[in-house]
Amino acid sequence: MASGRTAPMSRRHRLAAFGGLMLAGLMSSLDATVLGTALPAIVGDLGGLDRLAWVSTAYVLATSVTVPLSGRLGDLFGRRPVLLVGLLGFLAGSAACGAAPSMGWLIAFRAVQGAAAGCLMSSMFAVTGDLFEPRERAKYQGYSALIFAVSSVAGPLIGGLLTDHASWRWVFYVNLPLGLAATATTVLFLRLPAPEGRPRIDYPGIVLLGAAVTCFTLFTSWAGTRYAWASPATAGLAAGSAALFAAWIIAERRAAEPVIPLRLFRDRSFAVACAVAAAGGATGFGLATYLPMFFQVVGGVGAADSGLLVLPMMTGLVAAAVLAGRHISRTGRYRRLPAASMALSAAGVGLLATMDAGTRLFTAGCYMALLGFGAGLSQQVVVLIAQNAAPHRDLGAASSGVFATRMLGTAAGMAVFGGIVSSRFAEEVTHRVPGGQVPAFDDAVRPEVLATLPGPVRDGVLEAFAAAFSDLFLTALPVLAVGLAAALLLRDVPLRPRGPQAGRN
């Protein structure tokens, strides 16, 4: 599809527009992490403990659905309108969540927030692709890794402070100044060519992909938690997601303007980018979810401090992302970075598998920093590879496609790793706890319950947890091996000058 033209943006306007993207990304990332510390206060005020999990599930579910869809909508209707819809939707959702009168309304408004967040996440990478040529783009996409690291560390702290000193409602109201600033910056400075012609919307593809992602997200969220892995509900969700994905592929082959063009996957670079993104999401972000649990249970660290102990991993991730971006910007080369990412991540995971109750926090921090550095080498690079492999008319679909692949990999990793920890703990604890005094998994992860156990029982529980986590980390190694094998297939395709400043193809 051809694109209309506008006057080239000045460098000052491009940097200002990128600043607005950073604010939008920070707002949506913070919202995903800031809520955890406020949940007890929300239940105390609104009730609905039995539906509490849906406050987070509704957000994640809506985000997972809109990420792959919004990228293509940006290709068809323009990325600036999609970004503004995401910003305004997130502002409206945040204000409504803060004023929610009941748990049901809060869940509904969280779905609105999540849908808008999906638009923001996909727009961040696609608009960056429009603002900067590929070599310069790599540097700025590296900077964008900062917002994810900042939100993962600062989110729980900000949520706790606002809940304790103001109200849980301010956890949502705090988004309003960030969102307004990002919206004003977008309106004032972002000028992109508008697509020409009448877009043809792939309604069957949208419905099928949305339904498939919904089933898959519910499967990864509920398997092993709400429902047993062998239950009919879990099997039904798994089979449903597989059937819907298959139906979506068939529909996309017939669509004039598919949501994610299947021709992208025939390009080796794009396919490799998706494979590395999925492996990195599962092992990097997936494992990061369970590391605080290890420190709380095995290391005896408090909940707040356990979150801070993930800081070395986030620091390594940001450092690697920035260095990778600067390297590509200076040399124009990126081929070796995904393979190095998978190899270093595997080394970090292997070292994490050696941890036990006697591992020093400094040593664990070094292992996590290595894992984070490995993950950071490919986090933004895979988006750049996908964008470089796609024609400009598919830039949004390529960006959101690789981002959605990472999200699905993360969700799958969290589900599988959670199942491994709980099942391996159940096996190990029967051998390590004397006298058959075996606590349930849900009780064993609570520090207040562990503190009441007799010494020999508590020691056996800690040893069982350490063994379960060791198996968890070892299970991640084959995933990284697959990612490494895919990364080694990457071809050295030169970065092409593209963007509103460099013409179209």
DSSP state of 51: G
Which pLDDT belongs to residue 285?
A: 75
pLDDT band, residue 505 (cuts 50/70/90): very low
As to burial, measured by CB atoms within 10 angstroms (0-12 exposed, 13-18 middle, 19+ buried), residue 48 is middle
Tens-digit pLDDT profile for residues 349-362? 999 988 887 888 88
Between residues 348 and 301, the one the model is more confident about: 348
* Location of structure tokens 């970065």: 495
Q: How many CB atoms lie within 10 A of CB 165?
A: 8
Tens-digit pLDDT profile for residues 405-433? 888 888 888 888 878 887 888 787 777 77
pLDDT band, residue 197 (cuts 50/70/90): low
pLDDT band, residue 393 (cuts 50/70/90): confident
What is this structure's pTM? 0.82
**For residue 501, is pLDDT > 50?**
no
Which pLDDT belongs to residue 439?
A: 64
Q: What is the phi-psi region of residue 224: left when phi exceeds 0, alpha when psi lies from -120 to 50, beta otherwise? A: left
**For residue 502, is pLDDT > 60?**
no
**For residue 127, is pLDDT > 80?**
yes
Tens-digit pLDDT profile for residues 313-357? 888 988 898 898 888 888 888 889 999 999 999 999 999 988 887
Residues contacting 47, CB < 8 A, separation 6+? 102, 103
Check: CB of residue 486 under 8 Å from CB of residue 274: no
Which pLDDT belongs to residue 493?
A: 78
What is the Cα 1 distance to its own chain's centre?
30
Residues contacting 328, CB < 8 A, separation 6+? 135, 138, 139, 334, 337, 381, 384, 495
Check: CB of residue 418 under 8 Å from CB of residue 286: no
As to burial, measured by CB atoms within 10 angstroms (0-12 exposed, 13-18 middle, 19+ buried), residue 138 is buried
